[in-house]
A and B are shown apart, each in its own frame.
Chain A
Amino acid sequence: AQSVTQPDIHITVSEGASLELRCNYSYGATPYLFWYVQSPGQGLQLLLKYFSGDTLVQGIKGFEAEFKRSQSSFNLRKPSVHWSDAAEYFCAVLGLPGGSYIPTFGRGTSLIVHP
């Protein structure tokens, strides 16, 4: 069965600092990986996705993520965080249990940005 682990429940950074949010997945075949962001009181917005090809994926809002098969990881990064990046971030893996593609989400990492 597929699973996703986001080991950090909360991350606190200062505005302007770099950011890395961790995501580890467990899936037997080629994983399809996503990062979503949920701003307070909002729905989930797709930041970026990995299906194949270049393992460094660029997304919206200046985010990027790197797929590392050897580490079963898909960490999200941003070189300089803005106060508006404070939100909940979800990693997800898309597998094929029972013949249908249903994503499994991690439990989320809450990003707090200090001025």
Chain B
Amino acid sequence: DTAVSQTPKYLVTQMGNDKSIKCEQNLGHDTMYWYKQDSKKFLKIMFSYNNKELIINETVPNRFSPKSPDKAHLNLHINSLELGDSAVYFCASSQDGGPPRNTQYFGPGTRLTVL
């Protein structure tokens, strides 16, 4: 069974559209994350979320919003897509608390291309 899964794997869309990426984990973890990997492979945390707290990277535009229907899912909604949003988006999850519990496990990524 896949521990952290994301859908879709590839997403191609036009500027100005609104899209969502879904993430699910079956590890029983309490905390989930979204990362953006740019064309130079740099990984940047966007959000960290558990049932207690949402931590937002202040540099993330408010067009991006995480939504969690339950603790096994953390979806990423993006409004008014821009060319610069093209990247690979990774979901990750971990247990709550400090090390070593909060070792992160990553999904396979979603490659978003905005035309």
A44-B106 contact given A105-B43, A107-B40, CB 8 Å threshold: yes
Query: Which of chain A's residues has its CB closest to B90's CB?
Result: A43
The answer, yes or no, to whether A88 is at the interface (CB within 8 Å) is: yes
The answer, yes or no, to whether A102 is at the interface (CB within 8 Å) is: yes
Of listed B40, B43, B100, residue having the most chain A CB within 10 A: B43
What total of chain B residues lie within 8 Å of the partner, measured CB to CB?
Answer: 22
Main secondary structure of the interface of A (DSSP, over half): strand
Cβ–Cβ contact A32 & B99, under 8 A: yes
Could you say which interface size class chain A belongs to? 20 to 34
CB distance from B86 to the nearest CB of A (A): 16
Using CB atoms and an 8 Å cutoff, list the residues of chain B in contact with chain A.
Answer: 4, 40-43, 45, 48, 53, 55, 90, 92, 98-100, 102-109
A108-B45 contact given A34-B103, A45-B106, CB 8 Å threshold: no
The answer, yes or no, to whether A70 is at the interface (CB within 8 Å) is: no
The answer, yes or no, to whether A84 is at the interface (CB within 8 Å) is: no
Query: Which of chain A's residues has its CB closest to B42's CB?
Result: A107
Cβ–Cβ contact A102 & B103, under 8 A: no
A-B contacts, 29 listed (Cβ < 8 Å): A32-B99, A32-B100, A38-B41, A42-B108, A42-B109, A43-B4, A43-B107, A43-B109, A44-B92, A44-B106, A46-B103, A46-B104, A46-B105, A49-B103, A51-B99, A90-B43, A94-B99, A100-B53, A101-B98, A101-B99, A102-B48, A102-B55, A103-B45, A103-B104, A105-B42, A107-B41, A108-B42, A108-B43, A110-B41
